[in-house]
Amino acid sequence: MTTHTTHHVTHSPARTDITPVPAARSSRTWAYAGVGAGLAGIGTIVTSSMINGAYDDALRGDVPAQAAKLADQTPQMFAFHTFTLVGAVLLVVFAAGLLRRLRAGVGDVSTVPLVAFAGLVGTAVVSVLGSGLDTEFMMGPQEDGLVDPTNAVLYNHWVGTIPWCWVLAGLAGVAVFVAARAGGAPRWIGRVGLVLGGLTLLLGISPLQYMAGMTGPLWLLVTAIGFSVGDRAFRS
């Protein structure tokens, strides 16, 4: 004799007192911060060039005269300081967003997103250091005897070189290119990273390192605009 055993399965109805949580929308605030950082970076380079007492050919070798000219360039120094620090803060925000965006495209295992993040944060740190002497020298040269003319000229060389060291941003650009090749970012943004980011990296490594300050902010601006308005496939 065969015995059949029947198992009764109890089905519980789905709860109706819980509201489903909608999927979070991808924010573009980080990309807008990158646009701001790129514009501020360009402002840094322009205003840095306007602080030029030490680079005036007519005053070559005349340190007191160079310092005297710097004393009349306080507005340029204030503008340089503002652009540089605002850009550094926004750059960190963009770096964090880019890390998340690239990880969403290539996964957590890849080191490429972290390389891009480190390159941008490193550039932000260099920018802060490049403006680190501003408070002491924006006011000092206007008061006789407060700042040694030689030190004032040295300050001019500092702001005319350090904030132009965008080599690590070039590394971030190349990282974006690598991510794009793996399908983790739009291809055209990857090509921008290869061209402008690669050029920034090569210039920064070469003895012409300060020229990286001309191409680095441009790469940042174009890339950030791309992620702001041209990354529709990811947002959808």
Residue 57 belongs to some domain of the structure = yes
Could you give the C-alpha distances from 44 to 79, 109, 134, 167, 176, in angstroms and in order?
A: 8, 36, 13, 16, 24
Residue 11 belongs to some domain of the structure = no
CA–CA dist 109, 66 (Å, integer): 54
The string of pLDDT tens digits covering residues 198-218 is 999 999 999 999 999 999 999
Domain of 159 in residue numbering reads as 29-230
Q: What is the rounded average pLDDT of the residues 206-235?
A: 91
Q: Which tokens go with 201? A: 């990296």
pLDDT over 60 at 1, yes or no: no
Could you give the C-alpha distances from 42 to 35, 150, 214, in angstroms and in order?
A: 11, 28, 8
Residue 90 belongs to some domain of the structure = yes
CA–CA dist 57, 44 (Å, integer): 23
Residue 17 belongs to some domain of the structure = no
Residue 196 belongs to some domain of the structure = yes
Q: Are 128 and 85 in contact (CB under 8 A)?
A: yes
Of 63-72, 86-95, 117-126, 201-210, minimum mean pLDDT range: 63-72
Residue 20 belongs to some domain of the structure = no
* Count of domains for the chain: 1
The string of pLDDT tens digits covering residues 2-58 is 444 444 444 444 444 444 434 345 688 999 999 999 999 999 999 999 999 999 999
- Reduced to 3 states (helix: H, G, I; strand: E, B; else coil), residue 165 is coil
Residue 14 belongs to some domain of the structure = no
Residue 209 belongs to some domain of the structure = yes
Q: Which of 161, 144, 154 is nearest to 68 (CA)?
A: 144
Please give the pLDDT value at position 27: 82
Of 75-89, 113-127, 142-156, 194-208, minimum mean pLDDT range: 142-156
